[in-house]
Amino acid sequence: MDRLKLSRIDEDLESSEVASLCFLCRDVLARKRLEGINNARDLFLRLEENGLLENNSFLFELLQTIRRTDLLNLLESDSSPPEEADANPILSDYRVMLYRVDQDITRENLSMMKFLLSSQLGKRQMEMCNTALDVFAEMEKTGSLSPTSLHEVHAAVKQFDQQLALTIQRYIDNRGTVCTVSNTSQPVDVSISETQSNYEGMNICSDAEPNTKPSSPDDHTEYYALIHKPRGLCVVINNEDFLGTQMKNRKGTQEDEKALCSLFSRLGFTMLVHNNLTAGAMKQELQKLGARNFVNDDALVVCVLSHGEMECVFGTDEQRVNITDLTRPFTSEGAPTLAGKPKLFFIQACQGTRYQGGSLPHPSLPGQEEGVPQSPLEEDAGPIKGETVPWEADFLLGMATVPQCKSFRSTTTGSIYIQEVCTQLKKSAESSANDDILTVLTRVNREVSKGKYLNSKQMPQPKYTLTKKLVLKYV
C-alpha cells in the first residue's frame, strides 16, 4: 500500500484512536507485536509485515469502525480494490462490540466498572487502565473475557448501565447457530451415522442407470482465521426424489443431510438446507447466495447430494449442473467479501460409470441383472463427459470419487463418502491435535478405500487451491 497515504492517515489519527485500532487488531496480530505501539505508522508496519495491508479492505474496515470516514477517501483512490486480495481478514463481532461499549461508557461508569472488577483483576492493574479497552485487555490476559466468556463483564456493566449491558447481551444471543430448512417439513435429526467398512451381502443399484421398474491456529499467516460466531453458512442441497424416468430416487440421502446438519452446526455454522431442487433452481439459489454480504462470515460450506456424471451433478429434473456453476458465484470476483476465506464444496455424486479398479461385479445367478444385486447400497453415477473446473484461490472441492468412476450410497445409513467425512471431521474436532482439513480428508481417503462395495473400490478425490491451513473445531 502507498506509504505516503499511510503517513497522511497517521498524521490525522489521535493517540486514543491508535489505541482503539490496536485493540481491534488483537485477533490478527500477536499481543507482543502490539506492545509499545504509540502511533499508527508502527501499527501499519506490523500489519504490513503480516500481509494484512496487501489491499485496502482491512484498513478500510478499521477506519470505518472507529468512525473516521473522512480518511476513507484516501483509500478509495488506491489501485488495489479489496476483491483482488488473496487474504481479507475481517474484524470480529466480539471485538467490535467491546469497542462500542468503550465508546459509550461514561468516565463515571468506567470508574464503577474498574471498582467492580478489581477484586478479580487486582487494584494495581485497574489503576493502570485508562479506558474500558484497557480493562478488557487485562481481562483477556487472565482468561476472564473471551468471545465465549462474557459473564463477568456483563454482570459488572449491568449494575450501572442497562443499555450497555443490552449491547453485550445481544452479542451473546446472536452467537448461536440456526438451522434453516427449505422445501421440507421434517425436523433435522442431530445424529451422525457411522460408516460401514464392509458391505458384502447388501443390495446395490446405480443412480446413473435408467430406472428398471446416484503451527497454531492463532497464526493468521499460516491458518485461516475463524473468529466469528457463527463461522458462516453451510448450505446443503439434497436431491432425493427425481421427476423423470431415467434416474432412481436416492434412498438414504436423508441420513447424509442429518449428519451434515449435526456436524456443521456444532462446528459453528448456520445451516441452510434445500431439498429436491431442479437444475435451474440449484443455479438460482447459489447465485442468490453468492450475492450475500459475507463480511461477518469466516468460511462457506456447500454440500451437494445428488446423481452425477463427469464434472457435473443433476437437478431433480434430470438436467445437468456443471461443477463450475456451483463454484463460480463464490469466486473473489463474484463474491468479493469471501476473498481470502475458505470455500468448501463436498459433492456426493459419481463422476462416471466405471467401477473403480476395473473389476465389474458379476451376477452369481443366471438372469440376475449385472450391477444390481439386492442390497441397501446404491451408486451415484452417470455418463462420462469432461469439463475443467476454473479454480481460484481458497477453494476446496471434495469429490466422492475420482473421475469416470462410481460412488456408493447405503439406502439405510447414507453415502459412504459423506458419512466418512462427517466421522473424520467429528474425530478431528474432538481431538486435541490441530489437524487441518487436508489431513482429515486424507484419512477419509484411507478409510473409504479400505471398503469393498460390489466387489469394487471407491476412492474420493479432494481438489484444492487453499492458501492456508483450515482447522475446524466445535464452538
Active site residue ranges: 307, 350
Check residue 433 and give left, alpha or beta (phi > 0: left; psi -120 to 50: alpha).
Answer: beta
C-alpha cell at 283: 443455479
C-alpha cell at 254: 436423508
32: exposed, middle or buried (C-beta count within 10 Å: 0-12, 13-18, 19+)? exposed
H or E element at residue 92? none
d(CA 451, CA 474): 28
**Order of all β-strands in the sheet with 414-415:** 204-206, 377-379, 408-410, 414-415
**Order of all β-strands in the sheet with 308-309:** 308-309, 312-314, 320-322
d(CA 239, CA 256): 11
Question: What are the residues whose beta carbons fall under 8 Å from the beta carbon of 59, sequence distance 6 or more?
Answer: 1, 9, 44, 47, 53, 75
Helix axes 151-158, 132-142, angle to 10 degrees: 140
Amino acid, single-letter form, for residue 194: E
Question: What are the residues whose beta carbons fall under 8 Å from the beta carbon of 465, sequence distance 6 or more?
Answer: 391, 392, 393, 394, 395, 396
d(CA 208, CA 355): 12
Dihedral sign from CA coordinates of 248, 254, 259, 261: positive
Amino acid, single-letter form, for residue 209: E
Asked if 242 contacts 310 with a C-beta cutoff of 8 angstroms, the reply is no
Q: Report strand pairing: 312-314 vs 320-322.
A: antiparallel
d(CA 100, CA 93): 10
Asked if 167 contacts 97 with a C-beta cutoff of 8 angstroms, the reply is yes
Phi, psi of 19 (to 5 degrees): -60, -40
Asked if 153 contacts 110 with a C-beta cutoff of 8 angstroms, the reply is no
Check residue 328 and give left, alpha or beta (phi > 0: left; psi -120 to 50: alpha).
Answer: alpha
What dihedral do alpha carbons 235, 240, 243, 248 form, nearest 10°? 140
